[in-house]
Amino acid sequence: MTRQLHLNAFLMGTGHHEASWRLPESDPTATTDVAHFQRLAQIAERGTFDSLFLADGPVMFGNVAQRPSGVIEPLTLLTALALVTEHVGLIATASTSYNSPYNLARRFSALDHVSNGRAGWNIVTTAGVEAARNFGVDEQPLHAERYARAAEFIDVTLKLWDSWEDDVVVADKGAGVWGDNSKIHPAAHEGKYFSVAGALNSPRSPQAYPLLVQAGSSDDGKDLAARYAEAVFTAQQTLGDAQAFYHDLKSRTRRVGRDTDTIKILPGIVPIIGSTVAEAKEREAELEANIVHEHGQRMLAGLLRVPVAELDLDSELPADLPAESEIEDFKSRYSLIVELGRREHLTVRQLIGRLGGGRGHFTQAGTPEQIADTIEEWFTNGAADGFNIMPPLLPSGLELFVEHVVPLLRSRGLFRREYTGATLRDHYGLARPENRNVREYAEAVSR
């Protein structure tokens, strides 16, 4: 079987473009409309997408004046989406900084059971002092400490998902025995950040572990991904940058002893689709015309750690911006945005326009054929295993991609025509993880 693309639909309210809510076709209240997301999930499934993804954070996102804010907690929402779909994977973001392993392991295990094996966890460490202060912490932990905590968090969570062997349940009515206690393995974890004594209180789920996803592109983020991640969402602006990231992460994965095929790299792409180039450019211009630049100016100033007054809309970025080493949150995104502005000599106004569609992800306005060409070029030239599709406008942007780009990818032999597996791991070509307790017992017996 030839190598196949992996496609994830990144769903965000009215769309990824910050001005999407202002267009006549948009519903500004869609962010809390379950039926809206159920429709999107069904569109993604019609397009045989591997998965869909809901971002999240334990903090108010941005400025409510700028774009629709307020979201439904993603694991709750994904449960509702599981009930109206059969195949598409369901990925939610959850923070290792502001959760406990036991509760998080329970919630994702529950989603995997409810969806018959379609759950995925996007692992984030959560940057920003605003989030920290929502949990009684005055300052955010340092970058390296957040990632050290994340590694231990994942280790504990994996122990919990392995705390039941697959064949615990006996269900012997005659003998009055429901389960085999010898096949329950308490986590018994004592570490720097967590102490977890018992076993999880639910059986091992259909996938054993939800698909593990990661999205940090700093050195610490890439090291964490190399150790644990099975899919990685990333932001790259050029083919060369994507190739460099792809090679780097695959090399790190190999160095820790993993098969590089067990980690799939999916750059984000914001496709603005028209039947002609002129039509696509017209839609792009319509979106950009609805950006309120003063909102973008304030957000950009916060990201760049400079006063708003220093960002003149019609001048290029200031020369004396902080180095990445001075940044404690969003390190990789900070560097991507600064490099984009410097490389293309963009004014602040132009940079805000470029960021309005995907916050630093690659944006392309063009025909379905041009979008498919880009996807094929990156996929066949060592830059991607698939793509994180980020429609600028929803639901129309996802519908256009499914109706016009997916058929081209299928006709080129790059993407599936139908689902051939039952679980999210099946879609990504990954094996169901063996229970570590069974494996360690087998290894001990064989010695």
pLDDT tens per residue, range 285-306:
999 888 888 877 887 887 788 8
Where does the pLDDT of residue 107 fall: very low under 50, low under 70, confident under 90, or very high at 90 and above? Answer: very high
Whether 358 has a pLDDT exceeding 70, the answer reads: no
User: Sorting pLDDT into bands at 50, 70 and 90, what band is 357?
Assistant: low
Which two tokens mark 98?
Answer: 């502001």
**Quick one: which of 244, 274, 261, 292 has its CA closest to 397?**
274
* Mean pLDDT confidence for 430-440: 93
- Residue 360 confidence (pLDDT): 72
**349: confidence class by pLDDT, cuts 50, 70, 90:** confident
pTM of the model: 0.90
- Check pLDDT > 90 for residue 308: no
Mean pLDDT over residues 260-278, rounded? Answer: 97
Q: Identify each DSSP E strand in 258-374 by its residue range.
A: 264-273, 362-366
Q: What is the pLDDT of residues 40-92, one digit of tens each?
A: 999 999 999 999 999 998 887 767 777 777 889 999 999 999 999 999 999 99
Class of domain 6-272+362-446: alpha beta
- What share of the chain has pLDDT > 90, as a percent? 72
pLDDT at 1 over 60: no
Q: What pLDDT, in 10s, does the model give residues 218-268?
A: 899 999 999 999 999 999 989 999 999 999 999 999 999 999 999 999 999
pLDDT at 176: 97
Q: What is the pLDDT of residue 332?
A: 67
Which two tokens mark 272?
Answer: 């603005």
The least confident of 242-256, 262-276, 330-344, 375-389 is 330-344
Distance CA(447)–CA(442), nearest Å, equals: 9
Locate the domains of the chain by residue range. 6-272+362-446, 292-355
Count CA atoms within 13 Å of residue 113 on its CB side: 11
Give me the residues paired with residue 124 across strands. Answer: 95
Cα 436 from Cα 413, distance rounded (Å) = 37
Q: Does the pLDDT value for residue 216 go beyond 80?
A: no
Query: Distance between CA 302 and CA 292 in Å, rounded?
Result: 16
- pLDDT score of 286: 93
Q: Is 173 exposed, middle or buried (0-12, 13-18, 19+ CB in 10 A)?
A: exposed
The 8 Å CB, 24+ separation contacts for 309-315 are 311/348, 312/348, 313/347, 313/348, 313/349, 313/352, 314/347, 314/348, 314/349, 315/347, 315/348
Position 213 pLDDT exceeds 80: yes
